[in-house]
Chains A and B, each alone.
Chain A
C-alpha cells in the first residue's frame, strides 16, 4: 500500500501516471503555470495506472474552477497595479533536535530557492535544541551561509524564542525539521507580504511529503494539516465564527508560519510552557496565533507559501499525535482563560464545542465500526481531559526547573 505523490502541471498536456509496485493510489499535486491549485488523493486499487482521461475528468471537476479564480486574480492585478511595498528582511528559523538527516533534506530544499528570492536579505538559522550528539552541527556545516545557534534548554518554544532573539531580519519564518519547502515557498511568502503589508503573521499550506504508510495515508485522508487553496485573512473577531479567535487552529500549523519579529518580541515570544517536548508537546502555535490576533494585527493564510510535511509513520505515533492535539488544545485554552479574562465565555464555549465535536467523532467511529478511528478519537479526548486537568501548570513547573538547571 502507498500513494505515489505526483506533481502535475495542468497547462501542459496530461500524461497517464503509472504506479510503482506496492502503490495503489496517487497523491496529485496540481499546478497551473507553476502555481499550486489543488491536491487530491485518488485510489486505484487494481489498475496500477491513472489514465489521462481519468486525470482529465478529475482536473475538470476539481482544478478548473481554481484555475479560473487564479486567472481572474492575475487579470485584476494587471489591470489595477498597486504600489508594491518593499519586502522586509527575512530570517528563516529551523528548530531541530536529533534529526540531522531530515534537517539536511530541508536545508537542501531551501538552498535551491534562497538565491532566487525577491527578499532583499535572507538568513537561515538552525537552532539546535539540545541535540544529543554533534550530527546536527555537522549537517549545518555542510551548507554555506547558515547560522548555527545552540539552545541547551530542551523544548521547542525555548528554541523558537532563541531564534527570535538571535535573528536579524524584520520578519521571521519558522519551519519544523520534518518538512521540505515547495519551490515557490519564498515567492508565495513574498507575494502575501506585499499584498498584506500590515499583517502580523502568515501561515501557509502544508501538503504531505510521503504517503507510504497506512498512518500517513490515514492522517492525510482525515484532512491532514491542509487548510485549502484559498487565501484567507484572520482578524481578532470573525462574523461567521463566534468562537474565533479561540479556535486558532484554523489558521494553519506551526511547521510553516512567519511573523513580524518586532511584534513577536513585544508579545514576549512563544510560551515556553507549551510545546515543551515529551510531557506537553503542542499548543505553542495555537497560542501564538491567538495572541497575534488579540494584539489587533491580522494573520493571513496563503496556499502558495507551501511546505511538504513528513507525517507520522506508524499508527502508534499517529495515535500519540492525536493525543497531543487534545492535550495541547486544552492546555492552550486553560492558559488563555487565565490570561485573557475578556474572552472567558468564548474559552468556555470552545471547551464545550470541542468535547461535543470529539464525542460526535467517537459516535461516528462506533457507528461505522471503525476500531482505529475509535482509538484515535479516544486518544484525542483523553488528551483533552489530561490537558484540562492541570497539565499546563505541571508543564510550567517543569519549564522552571529546566530554566534553573541551565542557568
Chain B
C-alpha cells in the first residue's frame, strides 16, 4: 500500500466525462449513477486516470449487480445468506428478455423525494464539539427535512450545548449517565415520530439521507434499516488501515434483506448480525422498540464496548423480525485519525463484540454465541497471525494484538455473574 494520503473522489458514471479530474494521487473512487451509489475502488496513481473503456466496463459490472438486486423483473430483492453474500435469483430468461437497462437504471437511481416529517433524527455525542457541528450542518442540508432532530449530549459537563445553540430547531437532551446505549435510549424517549434514525457525531450524512430512509420504510415492511457507511477522509495511516485492512464498515452496494433465513443459516456460529450494518447509519420503527425493548445499556461505547446495535438486531431477528440494508441511505464516517486511538477502537470493538455474544447467549441460549468466543475468534486470530507473517501488511500484527487484548477483556463478561444476571431488558422478563 502506498504511504501517501488517499483522495476520495465521487465519480458519476451516469454523466459523460466522468473522470476528467483524475489527478495523480492515490484515490478511493466512489462510483455513482446519479444518486445511486454503485461501488468503490481504490487505485494507485499508476492505475489512473481510468480510461473511457475502463469506466464503461466498471459501469456495466456495477450496474448489472444493481439491476439484479433491485429490479423486480430480474428477480430482486436479494436476501442475505450465510456470510452476508447475496444470492442472485436472476434467471437466464429474465436476463435475455431484459431491455433498456440504462433506462431501468435511471429509474432506480432517481433520488427519493419522500417527505421525512415522520422521521426523528437522533445524534448521540460526547466531547466532540467540532465534529458535531459538521454533522449538524449536513443534517441541515437534507433534501427532505426530518420531523425533528434530537442531540443527546452524553458528556458530563454538557459541552455540546454551545454547539447546538447555533442550530435552530434542534432539541437538546442532556443524558449524563455514561454509555452510548443510555444516550440512545434517552433519544428514543425524547423522540415523538414513528421512525427513529440514528447517526453519530463523527459522521456527515448525504443530502438525501432522510428522504431515502423515508422511502425505504414506505416501501418495505421491515422494522429496522441500515445504510451505507463510506469513509469521509483517508488522510492518515490509521484511517486507511481501518478502511482497507479491516474492511471499514464493510460496505456492499446492493440492498439486502436480513431475515429468518439469514438468522437460521448463521445461528450455529452465533448469527452474524454484525454484518447487518453499522450504528452510525441505522433507523427503526418505533414499534420495534415496543416489541423487543431498547438498546442494552450494558453494551455500547462507554460501557462494555460496541455491538449494542448488533445485539438489538439479534433480538429483532430472533423474534421473527427483519432488517433491510439499503445502500441508497448514505453517510460519510470520519475514521479515527491517530494510531493509538485506532488501536483503542479495535480493542473496544472486540471487547464489545464478546460482551454482546455473552448477552445474546444469556437472552436466547444459542450455543453458537459461545462457540464463536471459544472457537472461531481464536481460530481467526491464529489465521490472521500466520497470514500476516507471510503476506500481511505491516501494522496488521499491532491491530491483531489490540483485538486479542479486546477479546481477553471481553472474556471477563463470561465470568461476571452479576453482569449476566441483569439480562437485556424488562421486555425479556415479560415474555419468558
Contacts known (A73-B56, A240-B42); A65 close to B393, Cβ less than 8 A: no
- Interface hit among A74-82, A171-179, A275-283, A336-344: A74-82
Q: Which residue of B has the minimal Cβ distance to A68? A: B64
Query: In the complex, which residues of chain B have a beta carbon less than 8 angstroms from the beta carbon of A61?
Result: 88
Tell me whether B101 and A60 are in contact (CB under 8 A).
no
Query: In the complex, which residues of chain B have a beta carbon less than 8 angstroms from the beta carbon of A356?
Result: 390-391
Measured in the bound complex, the distance between the Cα atoms of B52 and A144 in whole Å is: 39
Tell me whether B47 and A230 are in contact (CB under 8 A).
no
Measured in the bound complex, the distance between the Cα atoms of B272 and A120 in whole Å is: 58
Contacts known (A56-B92, A59-B92); A68 close to B47, Cβ less than 8 A: no
Top 5 nearest A-B pairs (CB, nearest first) are: A195-B53, A73-B60, A64-B95, A68-B64, A237-B46
Q: Chain A's nearest CB lies how many Å from the CB of B109?
A: 14
Contacts known (A235-B47, A239-B1); A76 close to B90, Cβ less than 8 A: no
Query: In the complex, which residues of chain B have a beta carbon less than 8 angstroms from the beta carbon of A73?
Result: 56-57, 60
Measured in the bound complex, the distance between the Cα atoms of B53 and A230 in whole Å is: 13
Contacts known (A59-B92, A64-B92, A239-B44); A71 close to B98, Cβ less than 8 A: yes
Q: Chain A's nearest CB lies how many Å from the CB of B409?
A: 32
- Counting CB contacts under 8 A, is A385 at the interface? no
Tell me whether B391 and A349 are in contact (CB under 8 A).
yes
Interface size, chain A (Cβ < 8 Å): 41
- Counting CB contacts under 8 A, is A210 at the interface? no
Tell me whether A63 and B60 are in contact (CB under 8 A).
no
Name 29 interchain pairs, CB-CB below 8 A, sorted by A.
Answer: A10-B96, A60-B91, A63-B92, A67-B95, A68-B64, A68-B68, A68-B74, A68-B90, A68-B98, A68-B101, A69-B61, A72-B64, A72-B101, A75-B101, A76-B56, A79-B102, A82-B52, A195-B52, A198-B51, A233-B47, A233-B54, A237-B2, A237-B46, A237-B47, A238-B46, A239-B26, A239-B47, A242-B1, A349-B391
Interface string of B91-116 (1 = CB under 8 A from A): 11011101011100000000000000
Q: Which residues of B contact A (CB under 8 A)?
A: 1-2, 16, 26, 42-47, 51-54, 56-57, 59-61, 63-65, 67-68, 74, 88, 90-92, 94-96, 98, 100-102, 390-391, 393
Q: Which residue of B has the minimal Cβ distance to A240? A: B42
Per DSSP, chain B at the interface is helix
Q: A10-B92, A75-B101, A353-B391 are in contact. List 8 more A-B contacts (CB 8 A).
A: A65-B64, A65-B65, A65-B88, A68-B74, A72-B102, A76-B60, A196-B51, A230-B61
Q: Chain B's nearest CB lies how many Å from the CB of A225?
A: 22
Query: In the complex, which residues of chain B have a beta carbon less than 8 angstroms from the beta carbon of A115?
Result: none
Per DSSP, chain A at the interface is helix
Query: In the complex, which residues of chain A have a beta carbon less than 8 angstroms from the beta carbon of B91?
Result: 60, 64
Contacts known (A10-B92, A67-B92, A71-B101); A239 close to B42, Cβ less than 8 A: yes
- Counting CB contacts under 8 A, is A231 at the interface? yes
Measured in the bound complex, the distance between the Cα atoms of B51 and A61 in whole Å is: 31
Q: Which residue of B has the minimal Cβ distance to A359? A: B390
Within 8 A of B (CB), among A227-284: 230-231, 233, 235-240, 242-243
Measured in the bound complex, the distance between the Cα atoms of B29 and A239 in whole Å is: 12
